[in-house]
Amino acid sequence: MNLAERIQALTAEHPYLWTQDACGVTRSETQIPALLHADAYVPETDRTRVLLLGGLTGSSEGVENGFRVLDSYLSGGESLQRDVALSAIPCANPDGLAQGTLPNNGAGGNPAEGYPPEDDYYFDPNDPEARYLWRWISFHAPDVVLEVREAYSVRWEYAGPIERIANALNAYPMVPDSSLAGALSEGKPNNLAPIPTLVLTCPTDAVDAEVSKLWRILAQESALLSSPARRELDRRRGRTPIEAARILAKAYGHILNPVIYTQGVALSGRLRLFELDPDGESPVADIERMVRGYAVSSITDVFGENSGGANLAGLVYADELAEATGNASYNDLLVRAAEERYRPVNAQGIPPAADHDYRVEDMFFNGAVLGRAQMVTGDTSYMDIQTRFLLDAVVQQDNGLFWHCDNAAWFWGRGNGFAALAYAETLTYLPEDHTDRDALVAQHRRHLTALIDYQQPSGMWRQIIDFPGSYHEMTVTCMVGYAMARGMRLGWLDDSYADALMLAWQGVSERIDDEGGLVDVCTGTGVMSSTREYLDRPAIFGWDERGGAMALWFACEMERYLRDRG
């Protein structure tokens, strides 16, 4: 059997243990396969979580050693499986294996060295494998990584805080180098904390005897504590949504130049946080200072002659600022935007501010402005424009997911986030007796139900929703989570979405550091023309106003949801 067939056989024979996944994508668009244990991402388990890493050089012997470890684990039976949760990347260099280019990957890279990779996530032309492995393993956060390599003699090595087990294995300290195992075990990989590593180098026929020693040690009570990386994720996850929102509000929502949704949503988020946390510092005076010049300006002065929806949706803060200050004039620019840039619609019902190919971004941008304009004026004709746009669009497919637009047949992650957010915002402002409400609710439920099938065990959704191995993307998860929380809170969704919501919050909360830094936010993305182009959209690590704004909205909505549920 080939690599894929062997992995499929393991998951078919042991579905209670493993599900098949992918932890990255090569330049030839080969998925880097992974086996995920059922306890891989659960917040608490009595098992020691081990991640097996094989085939970094792409050698068939190294891959075979990895499968021998899996066989040994299965041979240990229920007693071992009660103590150890083993996940695996059986072949981290599948192109090198297939092409026989070891230790290279056939694209000019060597996934076995060069750690930590500093940039070019995940579009590096030579070695995307290293980027995917580096990020995925850190946020998988096992208690120990076990790498297996091939050689004629047996040698154990270790790095990181695992001395007691290493001594029992007669392991040698790893010589500092640029290997993945070495880099994971020191410093703050991916701004988290180290993961202890063991490296077993041996001939294939010695694997079972050697790794059985490790199983016996790990079966001993308290043999290995959670890794520092796992404890850091536990700490982040232990913060309440409002605590996460406070962190985000310090980092985002302090600029509105230009007026654009990425900044306007963050201003709105700061106002929502203050409503939830009135004992905190009020942002009102600061926001008034930022918007003072805009409030008395014309639409053309603020946005120019041909501004698109992304800029107009930057006014999402306006109604909340008007309410916070008692000054209704803050709504004036919002209403003028709705009146001057969303009327008259063309013969197809598309407003001037929207693209004519029914892009999912416009579903949100339109609804953000038109819904608020309807709320402050009582003029329901604004929502008629929005509902026609949503119902006339043909980008929701039979599987429930949304294409990026009517001529881009890819299920882009944030594109589906935009669609989820658009319907949530539209339904928030749409009158209960509107003739289109039932149809929109049905489309929205079908979309979110479809998305649940693609949610990763980490809680995240992918950069390309249906492409295993594409990176776990921050904004789509925030936007879908927000839509689920709001829908259940306001009543158009039932509690069947609650588990997916809680899992989404788990994934997002783990990816917010104490300064508001984020993990893998897809950069600004227009309509692309290939799978490769969507895979290659840079993933931003650290400060990002787009991701920060959406995370702040999600955190505030999550806090409201939890309070309402008691």
Report d(CA 558, CA 141) in Å as an integer: 25
Question: Is 225 found in the same domain as 265?
Answer: no
In sequence order, the 6+-apart residues with CB closer than 8 A to the CB of 378 are none
256 and 545 Cβ atoms separated by less than 8 Å: no
Question: Is 158 found in the same domain as 135?
Answer: yes
Question: Is 540 found in the same domain as 399?
Answer: yes
Residues of the domain holding 72? 3-237
Which two tokens mark 80? 């071992």
Average pLDDT over residues 175-192: 96
Residues 375-393 have pLDDT tens digits of 999 999 999 999 999 999 9
Residue-level pLDDT at 305: 80
Mean pLDDT, rounded, of the chain: 97
Q: Does residue 53 or residue 302 have the better pLDDT?
A: 53
Residues 52-69 have pLDDT tens digits of 999 999 999 999 999 999
Residue 531 has pLDDT above 80, yes or no: yes
Residue-level pLDDT at 297: 79
Block residue for tokens 């201003």: 267
Report d(CA 376, CA 86) in Å as an integer: 56
Question: Is 308 found in the same domain as 204?
Answer: no
547 and 521 Cβ atoms separated by less than 8 Å: yes
Report d(CA 356, CA 438) in Å as an integer: 25
Residue 85 has pLDDT above 90, yes or no: yes
Question: Is 257 found in the same domain as 205?
Answer: no
| Residue type at position 530 | S
Residue 471 has pLDDT above 80, yes or no: yes
Residues 225-239 have pLDDT tens digits of 899 999 999 999 999
**Peptide bond between residue 103 and the one before it cis (omega within 30 degrees of 0):** yes
**Where a domain ends, among 215, 237, 259?**
237
Residue-level pLDDT at 307: 82
Question: Is 246 found in the same domain as 219?
Answer: no
Question: Is 256 found in the same domain as 160?
Answer: no
Report d(CA 4, CA 2) in Å as an integer: 6
251 and 512 Cβ atoms separated by less than 8 Å: no
Report d(CA 417, CA 247) in Å as an integer: 23
Question: Is 271 found in the same domain as 196?
Answer: no
Question: Is 41 found in the same domain as 176?
Answer: yes
Residue-level pLDDT at 221: 62
Residue 147 has pLDDT above 70, yes or no: yes
Does the pTM exceed 0.75? yes
Q: What angle do CA 499, 478, 187 make, to 5 degrees?
A: 100
Average pLDDT over residues 337-348: 93
10 and 33 Cβ atoms separated by less than 8 Å: no
**Where a domain ends, among 220, 237, 254?**
237
Report d(CA 466, CA 373) in Å as an integer: 36
How many domains is the chain partitioned into structurally?
A: 2
165 and 224 Cβ atoms separated by less than 8 Å: yes
Question: Is 542 found in the same domain as 416?
Answer: yes
Residue 566 confidence class, pLDDT cut points 50, 70, 90? confident
Question: Is 286 found in the same domain as 177?
Answer: no
Q: What angle do CA 537, 541, 542 make, to 5 degrees?
A: 140
Residues 21-34 have pLDDT tens digits of 999 999 999 999 99
**Where a domain ends, among 214, 237, 260?**
237
Q: What is the CATH number of the domain that holds 303?
A: 1.50.10.10
Report d(CA 350, CA 74) in Å as an integer: 59
Q: What is the CATH number of the domain that holds 214?
A: 3.40.630.10
Residue-level pLDDT at 204: 97
Residue-level pLDDT at 176: 86
Residue 7 host element (H or E): helix 3-13
Residue 222 confidence class, pLDDT cut points 50, 70, 90? low
Question: Is 346 found in the same domain as 214?
Answer: no
